[in-house]
Amino acid sequence: MTSLIPGRISVVIPAYNQEAYICDALTSLVRQKLGSWELEVLVVDDASSDATAALVLSFHNALPGLKLIRLEQNSGVSAARNAGLEQVTGEYFTFLDPDDWFSPEHLATLAEALTELHVDFVRCDHVRVTGTTRVIHRAPQALRGMPLNPADDIEPIDSPSMVDYAFVWAGMYRTALMRDAGLYYFDQALNSAEDRLWLWKLHLNTGRYAVLSSPSVFYRRGLPGSLTQVFDERQLGFIPAYAQVLAEVHAHPEAERHLPKALRQFFAIVCHHEKRAKHYPPEVRLAMKQKLRQVFTTIDAPTARQVALEMDVARRRHILSFLQPGTIGAAK
């Protein structure tokens, strides 16, 4: 395991066929106003077939802390992030998607808050970019710039909370703590929802964090290659991801408190995918039904029913169809 260097910020960028955007991401790092902070940039080329790697290499003079890591075969965003995390040497680390970018003050603002507030991680607002339209999207926590308990911000159940704000790049993290607590790496078996599992684990297993009023990440939406625009088996990653989320919650000392939120979030995403299922190939729709039935046999029946009954009529009916007698397991 690499030793960590105080005062250094590491940025991990997973990239696959991003020649159209990678220069924007790296240029935003060249323009960072770092002050006394030192920058390390770890770009993981996930076996791109375009000019992504060549474009990254063209930034070596402009970004002295730049390192290109090449994967021999395309392995997905979780594996790419993990490959970068393995070589992180910064006291703090964060993520940047290759089609997004940071404002010039972003990294220093987050690092200084981490240091001054003595917290385990910080989260921030972001700007959603759709074509030429930009809209600030705020993290769902009104208390800003002060230490908070991450587990307290798992709730409320019936409105957005910080575990619903599932953007790992909208934050910065204390490297040593994440490593020591076993929270560092992503599950490489997941094709989607890996961010949600990772953030749930942070909220369940760390002690202090803060939310900053700093909408300084620019997030491009609706791009052709994004997961929201594809309709194949990769969409089903949310099922094993939430099976793990529910297992993490069950193992937590305050499981009874947090389980309703985990179930409601899971149920909402189930309904979202059912609406999109008409676009999925028949074999993907069938696999989704089968995998969901399997997960529903393992969850807490009374709590699940209560959560479902408190949802809107359409989603309630859909979730209750999975909760028929004999379909779901006994309470744990």
**Sheet of 121-124, strands arranged across:** 66-70, 38-45, 5-15, 90-95, 171-174, 121-124, 209-212
312 annotated active-site? no
Task: Identify any residues that bridge with 219 across adjacent strands, giving them in sequence order.
Answer: 128
Q: Is the peptide bond before 140 cis (omega within 30 degrees of 0)?
A: no
- Whether the CB-CB separation of 210 and 147 falls below 8 Å is answered with yes
Residue from 195, 232, 300, 312 carrying the catalytic annotation: 195
What is the identity of the amino acid at 140? P
User: In terms of DSSP bridges, do strands 126-130 and 133-137 run parallel, antiparallel, or are they unpaired?
Assistant: antiparallel
The phi, psi pair for 122, rounded to 5°, reads: -125, 150
Catalytic residues: 195
